[in-house]
Amino acid sequence: MRKAKPVDLFLSYAHEDKDSVKSRIIDSLPNKKYKLWYDIRIQPPQDFWEEIENHIKECCVFLFAVSPASIQSEACQRELALAHKCGIRILPILIEKTEPEKLPEQIHTLQWLDLTGVMTGDKRRRLLNLVKSLTRDCRESDWICWLVILGALMIGGILGFVIADLLCESCPTCIPTPVATSAPTVIPSPTITPRPTIPVDQTLESLIEREAQAILMEDEQAIADIYLAEAIIEDADPNGHIWYGALAYYAEKWAREVHCHIEHADFEILVLTDNYAQVTTSSAGDFGYRSDNNGCPNRYDNPSGADVWEFTRDETGQWRIVHFTFNAHTK
């Protein structure tokens, strides 16, 4: 089997979605910065599945374009199963609304990116930010693996290889699957993780209420408990800010503003799976600027859909905020 050249990104999609995938994903990723591979680049007389299998095993991040067509595609499911088996980082990208109960089990617990609807500059930035973060982590992990292996070789002997094997168990490197001579390679189904039980006192609504209370109390520990450590908060304004970490955002917010009252935060669930949710909210309240030192004379009233939240749920069943875009439709 010919070894594929390593690529940053492997894109899996249904051919029925090729126009949407090109406009939403392919055209959004700069060619000079990322090596993106997708099956249109297969040249005859190469073996179709062998070439795909090689590139999946050698990629850093597996992009899965989620649509009704892709979840029904046998080829897409086979590619996803192989990426999951090999421990490749998987980024599900929603390009068309899909029934949650039909989604593949392998992506239920993963962070999603929603690119449905009109493709905006904000959505392209979110795609680039996630890809940048995932490929950076991948490259760092690869370097650690190689350094561990090199150190093991320097130690020498059987003991060195045993140490390398133990320390590199977490590295996203897949051992090549032997090629079958008389029958196609059979990819085993991944282990299905039992659906966690949601704590009765912890819902998406209660989490948003806790976040609002934490803002009023300026409680950094409460904020840290509500958001994932790698959560992203961003202003939908094209010239706005992106904060990698909730505390960085709120530290700047608290230095500038004081909030006296949050009247309401009504929400609507857009996407809901076992371990991922996307919600829009409308909210209203009173705030002031610390520099004015005159309390909270100002009022904000964000309409429905102004703020967009994304949640994931951990193995204990607790919801956490992973992404928050504020004033998404009002600027």
Phi/psi zone of residue 237: left (φ > 0), alpha (ψ -120 to 50 degrees), beta?
beta
| Confidence class for position 190, pLDDT limits 50, 70, 90 | very low
Among 73-87, 236-250, 263-277, 302-316, the range scoring the smallest mean pLDDT is: 236-250
The whole-number pLDDT of residue 265 equals: 79
Q: Above pLDDT 70, what percent of the chain?
A: 73
Asked if the model's pLDDT at residue 153 lies above 90, the reply is: no
* Single-letter code of the amino acid located at 128: L
Q: Give the domains, in start order, of the chain with CATH numbers.
A: 7-167 (3.40.50.10140), 204-326 (3.10.450.50)
Model confidence over 9-31: pLDDT tens digits? 999 999 899 999 999 998 888 77
> Average pLDDT over the chain, rounded to whole?
77
- Give, as one character, the DSSP assignment of residue 22: H
User: CA-CA distance, 175 to 178, in Å (whole number)?
Assistant: 9
CA dihedral 101, 106, 109, 110 (to 10 degrees): -110
List the one residue out of 37, 38, 47, 113 whose CA is nearest residue 310.
Answer: 113
257-272: strand order across its sheet: 242-244, 227-235, 319-326, 298-313, 276-289, 257-272
Paired tokens of 230 = 């790698």
Model confidence over 197-218: pLDDT tens digits? 555 567 888 888 888 888 888 8
Q: Which residue has the higher pLDDT, 53 or 264?
A: 53
Model-wide pTM > 0.75: no
User: CA-CA distance, 4 to 54, in Å (whole number)?
Assistant: 5
- Give, as one character, the DSSP assignment of residue 34: -
> How confident is the model over 242-256, as a mean pLDDT?
82
Q: Is 124 helix (H, G, I), strand (E, B) or coil?
A: helix
Model confidence over 273-317: pLDDT tens digits? 888 888 888 888 888 888 888 888 898 888 887 888 899 887 777
Strand (E) or helix (H) holding 228: strand 227-235
| Confidence class for position 47, pLDDT limits 50, 70, 90 | low
User: CA-CA distance, 329 to 331, in Å (whole number)?
Assistant: 6
User: CA-CA distance, 90 to 195, in Å (whole number)?
Assistant: 20
